[in-house]
Structure 1
Amino acid sequence: MKLLEKGPGFKSGLADLPKHLNGSTISAGLISTVFGCTGPCLVTVAAASAAGFTLEDTVTWIFGIYVFGGLLGAILATYYKVPISGAYSIPGATLMGTALAGYTFNEAAFAFIIAGVIVLIIGLTGAIGKIMKFLPLEIVMAMVAGAMMKFGSGIVTTTVGNPLVCGAAVLAFFLVPRIIKKCPAVVAALIVGFVVAFASGQFTADLSGMSYIAPRVIAPKFNAQLILSCSIPLAALVMGAENAQAMGVLKTEGYDVPANAMTVWSGVGGIVSGMFGAHNANIAGPMTAICASPEAGPKEGRYVASVVNGITFALFGVVGVYAITFVGGFPSGLANCLAGLAMMNVLIGALKSAFSTGKFKYGAFAAFCVGLSGVTILKVGCAFWALVIGVVVSLICESKDFKAAD
């Protein structure tokens, strides 16, 4: 048995692409692109800012995740004729903002590359199932929820700090989609927040002076602590959250899932994107879900939605500097407020995955609390310790849940 599953091939995928390129596949692909290029981009920009990175650093980070994530999805979707979409881990971006504070961008690149190597090795050995038995999804998602909860509370603090602009964005997030059914909530919040900021004289970006900043290859700098606090948690998220979610969606829709290929190429994507200081280009759960949905048309043609998504993602990555400059002109708090709103469903999903099954509940709660604390021990960040302490607590208190997973 070959490690990488065989698909119909590029010739077949490209030959059938024109007949499936229609309103349904194009709209599904563009909707997933709008989703991925609004809130998640704001989350990544906020994470880069929290880590203390420069505009040039942020530009190459955005380039790496969108260009290589988009290409990864477009290539795999074409080869397998399955709606596999590539992007990056949104929770991973959030965690990096906390874990990388005080470290250089070159050290961050090293941590990202190592995360990709971990995913690649596990994909090549086929050990993903065994790893996840000892690192249950419930504990992984509890760690994510705890470490990212500051984004949720940030909605409140930024609205109190700037009630006019942030308050308008929050109201738009909840109200506009009820009036305009197909308008994404984060897009509504972004537009209304910008309009109110501009009208009140709080938008400061000089759009006429925007200039293109080219991405660059980053020389990685070794740092052992970041392997524990960044690389391992990020690899766990890529495999246990993003890939697992995408595989589950595809199985539900009746596709033959190339699980090994999705894991291996997510590792390769992480290594390549890491060379540009980007945290991991991998198979994306939410974007795959959008492109694989019935709204994307007949089952056999939905892969084209992922191709459209991948190409438009890559184009966005090339011109990402303009989006970053635009966001940089927002008044104090608006970008963080929008990032929190964009993370709302991710946080809700993380909490649901952590506690809805009833398994590993004590370990998940311990992981949630450690992640929420933001504690650093031995210069290693809270994400790693949340995973370690969560697993240890479950081994002590609920070992039966590990046995049930066998």
Structure 2
Amino acid sequence: MLSLPALAAGLLSGFVGFASSFAVVLQGLRAMGAGPDEAASGLMALSIAMGLCGIGLSLWRRMPISVAWSTPGAALLAASAMPEGGFPVAVGAFLVSGVLLVLAGLWRPFGRAVAAIPSPLANAMLAGVLLGLCLAPVRALAEAPVAGLAIILTWAIVGRINRLLAVPAALLVAVGVILATIQLPPGILAAAGPVPAWVMPRFTLAAAIGIGVPLFIVTMASQNIPGMAVLNANGFRPEAGPLFAVTGLFSLAGAPLGGHAVNLAAITAALCASPEAEPDAARRWWAAVVAGAVYIGFGLLAGAAVAFMAAAPPVLIQAVAGLALLGAFGHAIQGAVAVPAQREAAVITFLVTASGLAILGVSGAFWGLMAGGAMLLLHRPGLFTRA
């Protein structure tokens, strides 16, 4: 039976998971060349995919397995240049990432190889990706001082009381400011319904390497692996491979509709997996099922969300997105410099990634990882000495 604590935890998890990061997702899709209809379709596809995937996995395993979209992956897209060929080429890269997620779950040698990527380098790459977006609140203060200050103060004050509600509260203030200062287009509510838009993917080597591979790496390192850690910390120990493979399959299903990737939830997973969600661990899976239903509901309103964002001043939406990513940026920086012997390589990875360097159409995230890896190899003991 569904208990009141599990219902409350699931509702809160779904609301926080969507409201705290959907602006980041829209920024990422737009950066890849998605038009309003394609962005709405992508948001809808991701919301419904993570809702159905979370419900299915929770019912299958009878565990609170929460699924989310890849927020770090969306930040990667937002920080990358639009690929030559536009959104269809980006969708091709999304499919490459989905295939890699499935392989990581089903083929153990590949999964182990991914896990062997030095954590400082993966974190440094993520930090470099997030830096530009995390500067957006500062830019908002310069371009719209009153509105920017109101959003930041709300985030700071509410965060002092309840960290999980800080970004949703800042979003509500941003919405209020936008409603008070702009004229919304007529018929915005009529756009609320489902808006599937099929995108025929195109595959290029540059996009596969520069977008697909980094998207896969940040999704695994920043979402799937921490998501498993949250489950394990709360006493749930499902086999990781099948879970990764299933999220990869749902990512593949959502990609032609514009969705970039879904994965195991990390932060919001704790809301459903902890004892506060339900004292009886055997019934805690109900909370993840409720959260999945909330995601599906939000997905059906994707059209209105995109229409509203299109009419809003971009700097305010970017400010909310930047605030949503500050925690992830802090954790990434901490992880990047945690190992003294690998710190220099991590700093190089961070700088190359944050620079926005693009060579042969391949984004800086890939070159940052390559530069850091080369530095690690260069300093490997015995490289220039005879055996």
Instruction: State the TM-score, normalized to the length of structure 2.
Output: 0.92
Where in structure 2 are there 5+ consecutive unaligned residues?
A: 383-387
1:22-33 map, 5 Å: 22-33=3-14
1:207 Cα shift? 5.7
**Distance between the aligned counterparts of 2:110 and 2:277, measured in 1?**
30
What is the identity percentage for the equivalent residue pairs of Structure 1 and Structure 2? 28
Matches within 5 A, 1:2-401: 19=1, 21-103=2-84, 104-178=86-160, 181=162, 184-199=165-180, 201-202=181-182, 204-206=184-186, 210-211=190-191, 212=193, 214-298=195-279, 299-358=281-340, 360-397=342-379
Task: State the 1:359 CA deviation.
Answer: 5.5
Secondary structure of residue in 2 paired with 1:87: strand
Contact 1:137/1:241, CA 8 A, preserved across alignment: no
CA displacement at 1:62 relative to structure 2: 0.4
CA contact (8 A) 1:246 1:284 kept: yes
List per-residue Cα deviations over 1:156-183 (Å, max 9, x = no partner). 01211001111111111101344x6487
Q: 1:249 to 1:183 in 2, by over 3 A?
A: closer
| 2:385 corresponding residue in structure 1 | none
Amino acid at match of 2:295: F
Q: Structure 1 residues 182, 357: CA separation in 2 closer, same or farther (over 3 Å shift)?
A: closer
Instruction: Give 2:146's aligned amino acid.
Output: L
Asked whether the 8 Å contact 2:224–2:264 carries over to 1, the reply is yes
1:133 CA displacement: 5.0
Contact (CA 8 Å) 2:83, 2:207: kept in 1 or not? no
The 2-side partners of 1:26 and 1:302 are apart by 10
Residues 160-169 or 184-193, more deviating: 184-193
Structure 1 stretches (4+) deviating beyond 6 angstroms?
none
Query: Per-residue deviation at 1:130?
Result: 2.6
Give the paired residue count: 379
Question: Aligned in 2, Cα 1:149/1:29: closer, same or farther, shift over 3 Å?
Answer: same
Query: How far did residue 260 of structure 1 move?
Result: 1.2
Gaps of 5+ in 1: 1-18, 401-406
Q: Please tell me the residue identity of whatever aligns with 1:35.
A: V
- TM-score, normalised by the number of residues in structure 1: 0.88
Distance in 2 between the 1:297 and 1:290 partners? Answer: 10
CA distance in 1, matches of 2:286, 2:226: 20
1:231 aligns to what SS in structure 2?
A: helix
Deviations along 1:110-151, whole A, 9 cap, x unmatched? 110111111212221112553135412221121011111011
2:307 counterpart letter in structure 1? T
Contact 2:80 2:356 (8 Å CA) reproduced = no
1:261 and 1:81 mapped to 2: Cα distance? 14
Taking a change above 3 Å as real, the CA distance of residues 338 and 398 of structure 1, as seen in their structure-2 partners, is: farther
